Amino acid sequence: MCGIVGSLQQPVTPETLQVIAHRGPDYQDVYQWNNVSLGHVRLSIVDLSVAGNQPMHTNDQRNTIIFNGEVYNHLELRRELSGISYKGHSDTETILYYLQQKGIEKINKLNGIFSIALLDKERKKLFLARDPFGVKPLYYHKKDNKVTCFASEIKPLFQLGAPKVFNEAYLTTFLKLRYVPSPNTLFKNIYKVAPGTALEIDIETGEILKEHAFYTIPKTNTKINKNEALEQYDYLLQKAVKRQLMADVPVSLLLSGGVDSALIAKIIAENTSDKLQTYTAGYNMSDTDIDETKDAQHTAKYLGLSSKVVTLDEKGFLENLPNLIKSIEEPLGSQSIYPINFLSKKINEDGFKVTLTGQGVDEPWGGYNRYNTQQALDKFGGLPFPLIITFSKTIKKDSIRRGLNTLAQKSRHERFTESYSLFDDTMLKGLLKRDVYHFQDKTFTADIIHDKLKQYQLGSKKAIEAMMILDARMNLSDDLLLYTDKIAMQHSIEMRVPFLDIELMAFAESLPYTLKLGLFKNKWLHKKLAEKHLPKEIIYRKKRGFYMPGKNWFRASTGEELEQMLMEDNGIFNTYFDKNEVQKYFTLHRKGAVNYEKQLYLLVVLNLWTTSFFK
């Protein structure tokens, strides 16, 4: 709902706040205490009065908070407190006093989406925290291993003195995963607070005294049966959607042609008297594998909802992509930034500040094909590895190539890495200049995955369970949720994700994977629940995905224009990449020999990002 900025070295000025004014156009303010400077821009959603403005102080002035997001169970938490004279009814005021009375250790009781900075003047400590699934971003800069400043976005850090330095150590990780996992970024010495983590910082030195992971992975409940799980899922999802309608302003919904957003729409329609306004992105082309318009409109009509369609085209993509890359600040491989941008723009123009989405289902409920590969490995065991590696090099279809590369690996973290890798090591050897490729550590990304598996203590989990848990904390927070927040907030829109409700996710991640998917049957329990609320024609439609028609666009004039842009680059991109090899990818894609739309898009994004931030 807002944007936060803080510094331990220099004042946060109104000019600094102006860099993130889009995150909070309703009010802004700065507070200074000793060497600590805290700034906040507000998007008013809960308690629209001045009582909800930030920075906010306790009555005794001991604690000051700046907070971005929503805590949906704040009224429940408020009932646990006593002896407080409240000035308003905002969730900010609740968590300010809750953390003062209960301690930062009780931040795990907050159910919501948030990034928080809490200043404790008596203890001379600053606490930074981010919600368990990283819905709300929070960055910080370190100099000589000391924190100097932090913010909801990266650009204010540059305003506060953080230098722009390309973090080349994570280049191959980005090319494989399509993002850089927390806490790192492609900017050297600029970090993300990891999901579900709180940092304790000494405000006099900037030293991080403690890093506390406050969200625990639930144990698998092997005793629950299908009927019990279905009943509990129904109860918790309805509870999550209802609590995320918390707002003193109207709420809208992103409606795709799929089951996930349709399920949310049905629950909202049953629990509100106002006619829900929905928004769908479509394309002015005949490719029915991309355009969800008809399916979404059918769903809206069935549920009696108001439906608006935002139509996108190829020209708009070319014109807007450079600014979108600047907005998300980190290069990401998701093509959905294009439709989410124009949906957010339209929602803002129609006077909304809040919209709900169906994001966050595939990870906990088994929606990706890579989970089927892991399930097959668990079920059938080892395969002739050398033969698979040789065979995979001849495969042209990207998903099959990655699947075979996955089967060829013996260790879990290497299998996971290959399953994610958009560019495998063979591709990178040709794509990167010889000296660059030999400089890169070939096991670096796999080592990151290995460390994440240890961090979340996933060694005892089945591979499929471990991957789903990891995806909810990497693929979601560092890619999908990151671009959603950055693009939506560029238009002063808060995106809410009911499927990532903390209570609901604790339940989902406690279920055995056998209730989520069978062999090549994805999101089993999720779809069974949908059958209680929606007709099967909506539930079992062909999944179209939420992205742009890049395959066709990169084979047309758009591809030619982008290819020329990469060939003419003389900056960082030119330093690292063999342009002849890059050109081969464009040529093969244009001829229809291989669909390289994802790889080409990733290279274009990286080029635009380096051009935007390092010239």
Burial class (CB in 10 A: 0-12, 13-18, 19+), 268: buried
* Gap between the Cα atoms of 103 and 371, Å rounded: 39
CB distance 355 to 252 below 8 Å? yes
Per-10-residue mean pLDDT for the chain, 615 residues long? 94 96 97 97 96 97 97 97 95 97 96 98 98 98 97 98 96 97 98 98 97 93 95 98 96 95 96 91 73 91 94 92 97 95 98 97 93 76 55 65 79 91 94 88 93 94 94 96 97 98 97 86 94 94 77 92 96 96 96 93 98 91
**H helices of 8-113, where?**
14-18, 74-78, 91-102
pLDDT of 383: 56
- Supply the pLDDT for residue 398: 74
- In angstroms, the CA 23 to CA 43 distance is 7
Which pLDDT score is estimated for 391? 54
Could you give the 3-state DSSP secondary structure of residue 147? Answer: strand
Q: Which two tokens stand for residue 395?
A: 């495969």
Q: Using CA atoms, how far apart are residues 405 and 403, in angstroms rounded to an integer?
A: 5
pLDDT value of residue 405: 81
Neighbours of 411 (CB within 10 A): 11
CA distance 36 to 40: 14
Gap between the Cα atoms of 544 and 534, Å rounded: 19
Taking a C-beta distance cutoff of 8 angstroms, is the pair 24, 62 a contact?
Answer: no
Nearest CA to 72 out of 401, 494, 548, 538 is that of 494
Predicted local distance difference test score (pLDDT) of residue 281: 93
Quote the pLDDT of residue 373.
80
Q: Closest Cα to residue 586, out of 604, 571, 568, 570?
A: 604
What is the DSSP annotation of 493-509? -EEE-GGG-HHHHHHHT
Q: What are the C-alpha distances in Å from 287 to residues 76, 193, 549?
A: 48, 40, 8
**pLDDT number for residue 408:** 77
Torsion angle, CA of 313/314/316/318, rounded to 10 degrees? 170
Residue 603's pLDDT is what? 98
pLDDT at residue 400, as a whole number: 79
Contacts of 64 (CB under 8 A, 6+ apart): 31, 33, 38, 55, 56, 57, 58, 118, 119, 121
Phi, psi of 610, deg, nearest 5: -65, -35
Supply 479's token pair: 């890619």
pLDDT at 577: 97
